[in-house]
Amino acid sequence: MSAEILLNSDVARIEYLPQDSFLKLTLIGNLDKEDYQSTWNFLLDCITEKQPKKILVDQRPMTKASIESRAWLLVKWLPKFKSKVTHPTKVAVLFSKSLAVKIGGEFLVNAASKEVETAQLQVFQDENEAIHWLQE
């Protein structure tokens, strides 16, 4: 399975597997507000262009993102996602081992689940389980 690399930076990697209509975002290290926002905005552009049915968000390599960044994701980014992604989409999230990142991630997933009717969100600890669920 060959992946098309859409973004490869110090703080994020976005891969697309066209044969599976699968997009994977990996967040890496300590993301400042600018990196966090530009990564998520780039992801939204990729989602709009590729129209994937499955998205995997891997936060395991991420060590930190500010509360302000997460608030921005909820208040500014999520409504854009909701308006642009009208087809059913499964989103699997792998949480960082960092407790602060995990708590923030759980809050975002819960809020997004209520906000975006077309997205089916699920949280996983294991990447194989996440991929299996996405492919069901």
**Encoding tokens for residue 55?**
């998205």
CATH architecture of the domain with range 4-135: 2-Layer Sandwich (3.30)
Mean pLDDT (the chain) is 91
Indicate the pTM of the whole model. Answer: 0.91
pLDDT of residue 56: 97
> How crowded is residue 76: how many other Cβ atoms within 10 Å of its Cβ?
12
Q: Where are the domains of the chain?
A: 4-135
Round to whole Å and give the CA distance between 100 and 116: 24
pLDDT of residue 1: 56
| Residue environment code for 32-56, b if the CB has 16+ CB neighbours within 10 A, otherwise e | eeebbbebbebbbebbeebebebbb
The DSSP code for 126 is -
pLDDT of residue 106: 79
Q: Residue 82: is it exposed, middle or buried by C-beta count within 10 angstroms (0-12/13-18/19+)?
A: middle
pLDDT of residue 95: 86
pLDDT of residue 65: 85
Residues in the chain with pLDDT values less than 70: 1, 100-101
Identify the H or E element spanning 61.
Answer: none
